[in-house]
């Protein structure tokens, strides 16, 4: 009996499900246009998701291959753990190298040494403008500490056989081929090099032309071999936590990487205290790389050639080890790990398993992951709003149908089931079409437009699963509200349509709540007193979500407000009677709000990105206080008798040249922890100058704005040798004020301390980028402030005997290239002299150089860089905006269908076809305006608060700036209006072409 009842219940459920499916399919056949538009929207969002995620799938699928490419013909590498970015790499002594070579299990040991250089094509010195912002500032100049490595690494190798497969040409020959070089295929592609071309390589001490004899294969990405400990890693001298089994594919050699806790900065060589003679000047830090291990963007030369280029004899930093076939990586590690740990500095063994782990945690993979998650969110929102608009409009139009079904047989939950099934069917259709379109895009696009698929493209299971889950989750969320509305329909409502009587109260209440929620975000960022960590947490997890919810609640009020305020203007512009559009949006408020929110997803993110990006650009853009140029004579400086030559260069205003004494030194906080807002700037740049010339007179050389203190008091304090002037962001980041002392550790003698008392605080917009590329960051990559003090005092405190830096102004018609060439001629008067470099020792300056950093060049470069980055972040929001415009097409179609009888009556009483078309366009325009207003509000608040939060992140502590980029925002608003007009084009034309009788008959049939 129970079995019979169970069978009967199951049969009944299947029958009801079939009925629901038949009702859904019949409704889809009745409105194929709506189904097509909804499916197309889901297809577009799925396709965009596949486009992004396929790049990540491609990287994941290539981990093994790229790890093999990274090691080449070697089985492992040995290297030190290194220190913070930019610190000199530790070297490996020859006793260990010889011991490894004597090991019977080792087939080959290849010690290599890497150094930062600038590389360009040998025939490109034609004065053409560089294509990139970094190229504009670096060009053929030597690398600097402040700038990231933008060129390949010079690698000195004695290997007789190529470490990687030769793609073209041949490997380096004997040592007598002094002018030869081999580059990786990444370098050859970037610099457009072919075998036989000439390569111009510039280091800190020389510039040499090399002939390219070969191109070799290298891994396309660099693994992350530093960072914290992972499972299987070890501390110095400890046991290995991992085990065998992580073998290299094809090699059968299991192994696991190691990492020690070494992270100290190497001690300074030949450090001198203040008061040293001219022959014993302070050291300078050579620019070093940010990459540990073997560079994947490299220029390979023989050690003798590298010594000539660098000006010193390099020592091995990495050992490439090839094992005999009878020896595994695990066996080798058991023998050598204790010896590596006992080495000074401690070393770690990197095998295939460690390289593969490093591939998984590289910056390229992290970037692809971030893009994938962003695309997932966008695709989910697109599915939600597009499917929601379709279902919501279906419920409104089919209210009488649902009421009749309720009166005949269906329960509330069965009516809700119709909505749920329709949502899932639309999602599955869109997902399947999106996968097919994505597969075709990946297949064709990766061949025709490889630039769009820089990491390759693979339609893997990750793309399929993530896109499916995203679309189905969006469809489920989209069905909740329409299903709830359908369940509330009563059977008696089948007798007559419900009159639409918009309530003027509920949207006012929701708007007030939304305003309060939105205001909580700026109040938290700028007003509430709390610690930086709590403020960051509160902003991320509480008030920013409140801002999003507040904007959703504000949407009805924005729609109604735009209808009442902008409606008359739009109708007058389109020459329509205002009564035609008086309540069109508010009478169908759910539909209008849904369309507005759909557009605001992409447009709001675009507006916030543009506002945040260009507001953050303000404090980093060089201000009017800066002179025209900063000239650095590196690395040996000038003699005192050469200083007048700087003023005599053609194009330089002779009376506006000021010599500087500059050093970069670490702060001493007296045993206290560094300020949390200065975590990335543990040092400052001390700039010694003549205070009267710099700040005095009616037209000071440095026309800075004093935020605290007075110009006169600052000049007196600096002239007395005890005072200094600091930047405003330094005071905000440290909490120091007028009268407080700033203590430095001189690089020439770390046992000494140098103190200056703050006598003035000034606004120095743009000092970060000027110091980044001008060479004033003599030791460290990052820095915390620019501080002005007495020049003579700075020279004595930091043992700066020779003049190196000059600020100057130029004539209006000065040729920058010619002026810099004349400065170069002055620098080369000291060709062949030596200098002392940190971690290296004495270095020969075969070709001293003059680096001129023009303020206008920096402005152009930072604008180029900012445009590239900000617009790069804006592409995905704009793609989302285009996809979301399909929801507007659904809205307009539904609006036209619901007003068919009304349009028929209008045509019958004399309204022209043109007026009907303009009426449809007026509705789409008002929706576009509503979306623009809502997105503008969100963009300004989110962008402003994002700028304010930057000062609590530890990398920028200056006063928040707020800039509304109206030009960039107008582009997004214009695209939105255009998309809305395009979405309404077909419904408008179709309505305008219809005859009055046809409109009346269609309208009566739909009621």
Q: Which of 342-346, 484-488, 711-715, 795-799 has the lowest mean pLDDT?
A: 484-488
pLDDT at 966 over 90: yes
The b/e string for 332-351 (b: 16+ C-beta within 10 A; e otherwise) is: bbeebbeebbebebbbbbbb
Task: Report the C-alpha gap between 643 and 659 in whole angstroms.
Answer: 8
| Mean pLDDT along residues 2-17 | 60
Q: CB count, 10 Å around CB of 775?
A: 29
pLDDT tens digits, 550-603 = 999 999 999 999 988 998 899 888 888 777 777 777 777 777 888 888 888 889
pLDDT at 10 over 80: no
pLDDT tens digits, 98-146 = 999 999 999 999 999 988 898 988 765 444 445 677 777 788 888 888 7
pLDDT tens digits, 869-880 = 898 888 888 888
- pLDDT given at position 465: 80
pLDDT tens digits, 621-662 = 898 999 999 999 989 999 999 999 999 999 999 999 999 999
- pLDDT given at position 81: 72
Look at residues 89, 82, 72, 153 and name the one whose alpha carbon lies nearest to residue 316. 89
- pLDDT given at position 266: 34
pLDDT at 230 over 50: no
Task: Report the C-alpha gap between 117 and 208 in whole angstroms.
Answer: 11
Give the mean pLDDT of the chain.
81
Name the DSSP letter for residue 670. T
Q: What percent of the chain has pLDDT over 90?
A: 33
- pLDDT given at position 259: 29
Between residues 483 and 447, which one has the greater pLDDT? 483
Q: Which of 34-38, 380-384, 483-487, 775-779 has the lowest mean pLDDT?
A: 380-384
3-state SS, residue 924: helix
Q: Which of 479-483, 696-700, 780-784, 884-888 has the lowest mean pLDDT?
A: 884-888
- pLDDT given at position 838: 81
pLDDT at 163 over 80: yes
| Mean pLDDT along residues 880-898 | 76
Look at residues 770, 956, 728 and name the one whose alpha carbon lies nearest to residue 862. 770
Between residues 321 and 281, which one has the greater pLDDT? 321
Q: Which of 255-259, 281-285, 426-430, 457-461 has the lowest mean pLDDT?
A: 255-259
Q: Are 849 and 139 in contact (CB under 8 A)?
A: no
Between residues 14 and 875, which one has the greater pLDDT? 875
Number of residues written out for the chain: 1007
Look at residues 205, 317, 399, 157 and name the one whose alpha carbon lies nearest to residue 848. 205
Q: Are 265 and 253 in contact (CB under 8 A)?
A: no
Between residues 396 and 195, which one has the greater pLDDT? 195
CB within 8 A of 893, min separation 6: which ones?
33, 34, 37, 987
CB within 8 A of 967, min separation 6: which ones?
none
Q: Are 852 and 823 in contact (CB under 8 A)?
A: yes
pLDDT tens digits, 64-74 = 788 888 899 99
pLDDT band with cut points at 50, 70 and 90 for residue 891? confident
Q: CB count, 10 Å around CB of 908?
A: 12
- pLDDT given at position 240: 31
- pLDDT given at position 31: 73
Between residues 369 and 345, which one has the greater pLDDT? 345
pLDDT tens digits, 906-941 = 778 877 888 888 888 888 899 999 999 999 999 999
Q: Are 211 and 180 in contact (CB under 8 A)?
A: yes
| Mean pLDDT along residues 359-373 | 69
pLDDT band with cut points at 50, 70 and 90 for residue 686? very high
pLDDT at 214 over 90: yes
pLDDT at 902 over 80: no
pLDDT at 252 over 70: no
- pLDDT given at position 215: 94
Q: What percent of the chain has pLDDT over 70?
A: 83
pLDDT at 245 over 50: no
Look at residues 586, 600, 598 and name the one whose alpha carbon lies nearest to residue 887. 598
| Mean pLDDT along residues 746-761 | 92
- pLDDT given at position 448: 64
Name the DSSP letter for residue 959. -
Q: Which of 452-456, 698-702, 904-908 has the lowest mean pLDDT?
A: 452-456
Look at residues 614, 520, 652, 623 and name the one whose alpha carbon lies nearest to residue 871. 614
| Mean pLDDT along residues 222-238 | 47
pLDDT band with cut points at 50, 70 and 90 for residue 483? confident
With a threshold of 0.75, does the pTM exceed it? Answer: yes
Q: Are 49 and 433 in contact (CB under 8 A)?
A: no
Q: Are 425 and 35 in contact (CB under 8 A)?
A: no
């Amino acid at each position: 009996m129970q079995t019979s009842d169970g069978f009967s219940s199951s049969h009944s459920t299947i029958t009801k499900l079939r009925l629901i499916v038949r009702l859904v399919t019949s409704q889809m056949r009745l409105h194929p246009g709506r189904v097509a538009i909804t499916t197309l929207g889901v297809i577009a969002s799925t396709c965009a998701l596949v486009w992004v995620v396929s790049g990540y799938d491609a990287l994941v699928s290539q981990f093994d291959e790229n790890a093999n490419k990274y090691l080449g013909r070697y089985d492992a590498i040995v290297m030190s753990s290194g220190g913070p970015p930019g610190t000199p790499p530790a070297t490996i002594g020859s006793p260990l190298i010889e011991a490894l070579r004597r090991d019977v299990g080792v087939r080959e040991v290849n010690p290599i040494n890497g150094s930062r250089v600038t590389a360009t094509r040998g025939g490109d010195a034609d004065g053409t403008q560089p294509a990139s912002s970094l190229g504009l500032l670096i060009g053929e100049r030597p690398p600097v500490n402040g700038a990231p490595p933008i060129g390949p690494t010079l690698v000195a190798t004695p290997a007789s056989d190529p470490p990687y497969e030769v793609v073209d040409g041949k490997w380096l020959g004997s040592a007598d081929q002094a002018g030869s070089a081999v580059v990786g295929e990444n370098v050859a592609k970037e610099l457009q090099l072919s075998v036989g071309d000439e390569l111009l390589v510039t280091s800190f001490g020389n510039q040499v032309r090399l002939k390219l004899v070969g191109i070799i294969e290298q891994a396309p990405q660099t693994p992350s071999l530093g960072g914290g400990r992972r499972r299987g890693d070890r501390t110095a001298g400890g046991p290995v936590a991992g085990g065998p089994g992580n073998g290299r594919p094809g090699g059968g050699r299991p192994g696991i990487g190691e990492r020690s806790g070494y992270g100290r900065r190497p001690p300074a060589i030949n450090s001198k205290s203040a008061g040293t003679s001219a022959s014993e000047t302070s050291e300078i830090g050579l620019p070093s790389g940010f990459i540990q291990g073997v560079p994947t963007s490299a220029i390979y030369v023989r050690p003798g050639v590298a010594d000539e280029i660098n000006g010193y004899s390099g020592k091995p930093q990495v050992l490439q080890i090839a094992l005999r076939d009878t020896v595994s990586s695990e066996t080798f590690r058991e023998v050598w790990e204790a010896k590596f740990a006992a080495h000074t500095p401690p070393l770690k063994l990197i095998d295939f398993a460690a390289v593969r782990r490093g591939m998984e945690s590289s910056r390229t993979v992290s970037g692809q992951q971030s893009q994938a998650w962003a695309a997932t969110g966008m695709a989910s929102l697109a599915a939600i709003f597009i499917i929601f608009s379709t279902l919501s409009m279906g419920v409104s139009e089919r209210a009488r149908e649902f009421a009749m079904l309720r009166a005949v047989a269906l329960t509330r939950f069965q009516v809700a089931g119709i909505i749920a099934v329709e949502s899932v069917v639309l999602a599955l259709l869109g997902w399947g079409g999106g996968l097919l379109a994505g597969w075709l895009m990946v297949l064709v696009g990766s061949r025709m437009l490889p630039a769009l698929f820089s990491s390759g493209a693979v339609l893997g299971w990750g793309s399929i699963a993530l896109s499916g889950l995203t679309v189905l989750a969006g469809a489920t969320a989209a069905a909740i509200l329409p299903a709830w509305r359908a369940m509330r329909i009563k059977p008696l409502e089948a007798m007559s349509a419900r009159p639409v009587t918009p309530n003027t109260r509920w949207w006012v209440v929701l708007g007030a709540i939304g305003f309060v929620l939105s205001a909580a975000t700026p109040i938290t960022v700028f007003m509430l007193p709390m610690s930086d960590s709590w403020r960051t947490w509160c902003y991320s997890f509480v008030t920013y979500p409140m801002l999003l919810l507040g904007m959703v609640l504000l949407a009805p009020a924005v729609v109604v407000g735009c209808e009442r305020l902008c409606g008359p203007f739009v109708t007058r512009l389109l020459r329509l009677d205002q009564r035609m559009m008086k309540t069109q949006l508010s009478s169908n408020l759910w539909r209008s709000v849904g369309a507005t929110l759909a557009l605001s997803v992409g447009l709001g993110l675009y507006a916030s990105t543009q506002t945040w990006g260009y507001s953050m650009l303000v404090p980093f853009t060089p201000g009017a206080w800066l002179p025209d140029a900063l000239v650095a004579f590196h690395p040996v400086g000038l003699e005192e008798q050469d200083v007048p030559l700087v003023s005599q260069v053609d194009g330089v205003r002779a009376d506006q040249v000021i010599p500087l004494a500059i050093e970069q030194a670490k702060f001493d906080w007296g045993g206290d922890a560094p300020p949390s807002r200065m975590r990335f700037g543990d040092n400052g740049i001390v700039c010694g100058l003549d205070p009267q010339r710099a700040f005095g007179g009616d037209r000071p050389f440095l026309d800075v704005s004093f935020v605290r203190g007075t110009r006169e008091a600052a000049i007196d304090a600096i002239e007395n040798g005890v005072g200094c002037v600091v930047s405003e962001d330094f005071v905000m980041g440290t909490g120091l004020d007028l009268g407080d002392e700033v203590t430095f550790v001189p690089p020439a003698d770390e046992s000494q301390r140098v103190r200056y008392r703050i006598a003035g605080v000034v606004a120095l917009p743009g000092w970060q980028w000027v110091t980044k590329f001008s060479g004033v960051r003599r030791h460290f990559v990052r820095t915390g402030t620019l501080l002005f003090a007495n020049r003579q005092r700075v020279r004595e405190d930091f043992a700066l005997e020779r003049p190196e830096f000059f600020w100057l102004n130029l004539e209006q018609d000065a040729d920058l290239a010619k002026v810099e060439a004349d400065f170069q001629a002055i620098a080369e008067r000291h060709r062949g002299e030596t200098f002392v470099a940190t971690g290296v020792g004495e270095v020969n300056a075969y070709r001293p150089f003059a680096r001129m950093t023009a303020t206008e060049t920096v402005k152009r470069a930072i604008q180029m860089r900012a445009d590239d980055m900000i617009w790069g972040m804006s592409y995905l929001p704009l793609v989302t905006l285009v996809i979301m415009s399909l929801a507007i097409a659904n809205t307009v179609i539904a609006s036209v269908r619901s007003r068919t009888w009304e349009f028929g009556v209008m045509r019958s009483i004399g309204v022209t076809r043109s007026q009907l078309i303009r009426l449809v366009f007026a509705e789409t325009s008002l929706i576009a305006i509503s979306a623009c207003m809502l997105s503008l509000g969100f963009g300004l608040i989110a962008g402003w608060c994002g700028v304010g939060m930057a000062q609590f992140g530890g990398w920028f502590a200056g006063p928040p700036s707020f800039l509304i980029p109206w030009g960039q925002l107008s582009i997004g608003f214009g695209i939105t209006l255009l998309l809305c007009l395009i979405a309404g084009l077909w419904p408008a034309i179709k309505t305008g072409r219809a005859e009055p009788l046809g409109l009346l008959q269609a309208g009566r049939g739909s009621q």
